[in-house]
Structure 1
């Protein structure tokens, strides 16, 4: 299955908007199209994250472009549309094809955004590109980690957060060591989104796992977050 490989540099502000908007729309629509055809739970979670994160980035790009009096494409170009149709018509499961597509797409997106952040001709768009690069790199790290696991014959079958236990030692069995691209703020936000409050003392250990303290149900809790976004806690 072949996928579009966009040019990695933008010649102008409008060119950057065109390429970034089409790429972002393709990310959302391609991820939406595979959700029901994925077997691996981690890949499903990644696809949903692409829908959420790129959806937000697309909205931000539209806002910045409107302020700069630039037009935002409302549809995919012919090449991306053809690729999307191939993905939509492929028989399930499509995990490997989707992951490989995401590896290429994010490598290209990082180059496009970094290039414009450094050499772009529009200050507002340069700021947008610079602010978006960390998220794109985080996505890139996630999909590379997924690809490595798939190549090793591993899979993730659970989408649930491991249960909170009542021992004095964190249940590290539910956390997966690996290069963690979450920043401290992102880790704190993800832990809070899982129902914890007063997240503090976050530090990333030598296994790439963020560890800290938090409150849940009125109890102090040791909490850990791995590179996949899994959260494990133990009541103190």
Structure 2
């Protein structure tokens, strides 16, 4: 193939890629993205609360409390973006209903820790994929927020992977809830979602 032909093919490929990227950005729905992210965040908080109740593991309790704090803060910021952008986002009842599908399904009480860790691995892999779709947004504020959140979600995933490794080695220590409260970071105030409805 001649050099000029290679250049023409490369230019055509680049133009096609640019058109595809532009088309994807046009089809990106920020309100829909925020709704799904908030619903997943609610489910993550509720699953972490369940972990605090059921596990005897110090590491899992500390991880779960961090998930509560971080995902409450993330949801608050997502909803603040929606308000600033004047987006029509679903009400609490709809968000809670959507959250049901993302809740941890416990197969066995005796295997709760394993179920929770596996759920966290998959949840954060999916969350990272979901937030990467926000790169399609033309909104600079959204794109900047994306990079901040992706860094945090990747950190969560690495922590979950470390938990899995510790779990496999049967070396997860246990503690009381008081130890977790004493060692955890400053708590974030949770929005007043009527989460009791998720348990029915």
Aligned to 2:5: none
Deviation per CA, 1:1-32, whole angstroms, max 9, x where unpaired?
xxxxxxxxx83112211221111111111111
Give ranges in structure 1 of 5+ residues lacking alignment: 1-9, 162-189, 195-236
Decide which structure has the larger Cα Rg and report it: 2
TM-score using structure 1 length = 0.57
Aligned to 1:101: 119
Q: Which has the higher strand share?
A: 1
Aligned to 1:37: 54
2:39 aligned residue (11, 22, 33): 22
CA-atom RMSD, angstroms? 2.8
Counterpart CA distance in 2 for 1:56 and 1:151 is 31
* Deviation of 1:93 (Å): 5.5
TM-score using structure 2 length = 0.66
2:158 aligned residue (117, 126, 141): 141
Q: Indicate conservation of the 8 Å contact 1:61/1:128, yes or no.
A: no
Aligned to 1:115: 133
Residues 1:151 and 1:85: Cα distance change in structure 2 (over 3 Å): closer
| Larger RCO (CA within 8 A; separation ≥ 6) | 2
Q: Indicate conservation of the 8 Å contact 1:35/1:47, yes or no.
A: yes
The total of aligned residue pairs comes to 153
Aligned to 2:145: 128
Give ranges in structure 2 of 5+ residues lacking alignment: 1-26, 187-200
* Deviation of 1:129 (Å): 1.6
